[in-house]
């Protein structure tokens, strides 16, 4: 006998788990099916910075979606407490050297945009930055003129802790959370509506399926249907990133925030829950995009990132930190136009997709909105720009 559920969610990254949480709390019967362990896809290995401040140059609706997502996190924190969710407030601190005109212009432009968009921030001087992060050396030389921007609403999160908490909540609200349970097949009825999902030898009878499988979403669509429009409506790029995770630092070297120092390669770092550092940079991500990296090359990139960080953290013992570091390559699922793809999949009734970049930031809000849509059969206005069928529209040609 098949198990009867209202919704099958495929994938237990941040997107799938947030959906299971949102659907289960609305008393729908949910089965969350994951091919491996909870959070074993991209979610477990990203930088996990919850922010809107890096999106000031994106479209205004997309910036506002991210800002609203941060407010959604505030709601989660009020309901469940930050410690249980693994959410760390503390904000983001960007700074620039006044001798570098380009850096200062970028910092001020970000501040202007945040002002216009109504996102909380303050400009800070060197002394104020030193109070915020006493272990950081903000000036390279004594009395160097620097200026900073502090955005207190940004946060960072421990992804696996968040996922486990939300999955447990869903389980306690009657959701079936199945790990090591890859999808074997989908079945549709005579009307072209999804009717059954088979996974791990079990059949789930359902009238709604959400594909939240990150990079594997296209493969699942191929398993579901041969309709070319279905596949065409979920174009996903695979964008690599390199991160370095270090062993715990000494107590006096501890920080609290996400830091963006004046580094032309987009260096960024933050503390980890175990007291170490997590480090990435835009220029090393670009290297990973351009060449395939063997273990030695990856480790060299990791060391070079830590050398750059040591410019700003005088307490950092490079020798010790390099010994305890782990450098890894991970892949981001990024929709072709960089914006979320959330909503009904063209071609198969009852199937929805939810794939996005910045998923740690956006998933709680996107899942909340998609759960509303599934319940009420109405598209929330915030999702109107992000429908899968936008990729099917034929561009107007000028005569």
Ligand X SMILES: Cc1cc2nc3c(=O)[nH]c(=O)nc-3n(C[C@H](O)[C@H](O)[C@H](O)COP(=O)(O)OP(=O)(O)OC[C@H]3O[C@@H](n4cnc5c(N)ncnc54)[C@H](O)[C@@H]3O)c2cc1C
CB of 79 to ligand X, least distance (A): 20
> Which is closer to ligand X, CB of 125 or CB of 328?
328
Q: Which chain residues interact with ligand X by CB under 6 A?
A: 10-16, 33-36, 40-43, 46-49, 182-183, 212-216, 220, 241, 243, 330-333, 355-361
Nearer to ligand X, 271 or 333 (CB): 333
To ligand X, the closest distance from the beta carbon of 110 in angstroms equals: 17
Question: Which is nearer to ligand X, 117 or 329 (by Cβ)?
Answer: 329
CB of 372 to ligand X, least distance (A): 19
Q: Which is nearer to ligand X, 48 or 67 (CB)?
A: 48
Of residues 66 and 103, the one with the C-beta less far from ligand X: 66
Question: Shortest distance, CB of residue 177 to ligand X, whole angstroms?
Answer: 12
356: nearest Cα among 395, 383, 392: 383
User: Residue 49 or residue 62: which is nearer to ligand X going by CB?
Assistant: 49
Burial degree of 398 (CB within 10 A; 0-12, 13-18, 19+): exposed
- Residue 104 or 354: the one with the smaller Cβ distance to ligand X is 354
Q: How far is the CB of 89 from ligand X (least distance, A)?
A: 15
What minimum distance in Å lies between the beta carbon of 181 and ligand X? 7
Residue nearest to ligand X (CB): 13
For residue 200, the minimal CB distance to ligand X (Å) is 9
């Amino acid at each position: 006998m098949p198990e009867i559920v209202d919704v099958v969610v495929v994938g237990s990254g941040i997107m799938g788990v947030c959906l299971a949480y949102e659907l289960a709390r609305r008393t729908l019967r949910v089965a969350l099916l994951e091919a491996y362990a909870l959070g074993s896809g991209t979610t477990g290995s990203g930088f996990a910075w919850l922010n809107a401040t890096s999106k000031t140059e994106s479209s205004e609706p997309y910036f506002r979606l991210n800002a609203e997502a941060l407010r959604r996190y505030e709601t989660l924190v009020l309901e469940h407490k930050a410690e249980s969710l693994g959410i760390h407030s503390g904000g983001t601190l960007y700074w620039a050297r006044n001798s570098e005109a380009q850096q200062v212009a970028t910092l001020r432009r970000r501040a202007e945009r945040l002002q216009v968009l109504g996102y909380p921030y303050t400009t800070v001087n060197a002394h104020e930055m030193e109070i915020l992060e006493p272990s950081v050396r903000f000036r390279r030389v004594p009395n160097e003129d620097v200026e900073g921007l502090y955005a207190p609403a940004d946060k960072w999160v421990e992804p696996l802790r968040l996922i486990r908490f939300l999955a447990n909540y869903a389980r306690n609200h009657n959701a079936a959370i199945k790990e090591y349970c890859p999808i074997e097949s989908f079945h549709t009825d005579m009307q072209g509506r999804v009717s059954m999902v088979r996974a791990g030898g079990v059949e789930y009878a359902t009238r709604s399926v959400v594909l939240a499988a990150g990079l594997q979403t296209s493969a699942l669509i191929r398993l579901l249907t041969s309709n070319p429009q279905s596949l065409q409506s979920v174009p996903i790029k695979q964008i690599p990133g390199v991160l370095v995770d270090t062993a715990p630092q000494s107590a006096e070297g501890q920080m609290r925030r996400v830091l963006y120092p004046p580094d032309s390669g987009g260096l960024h770092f933050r503390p980890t829950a175990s007291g170490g550092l997590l480090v990435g940079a835009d220029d090393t991500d670009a290297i990973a995009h351009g060449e395939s990296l063997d273990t030695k090359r990856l480790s060299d990139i990791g060391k070079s990132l830590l050398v750059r960080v040591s410019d700003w953290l005088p307490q950092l013992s490079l020798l010790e930190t390099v010994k305890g570091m782990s450098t890894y390559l991970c892949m981001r699922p990024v929709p072709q136009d960089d914006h979320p793809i959330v909503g009904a999949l063209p071609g198969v009734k009852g199937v929805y997709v939810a794939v996005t970049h910045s998923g740690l930031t956006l998933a709680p809000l996107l899942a909340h909105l998609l759960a509303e849509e599934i319940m009420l059969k109405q598209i929330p206005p915030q999702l109107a720009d992000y429908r899968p069928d936008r990729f099917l529209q034929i561009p107007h040609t000028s005569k």
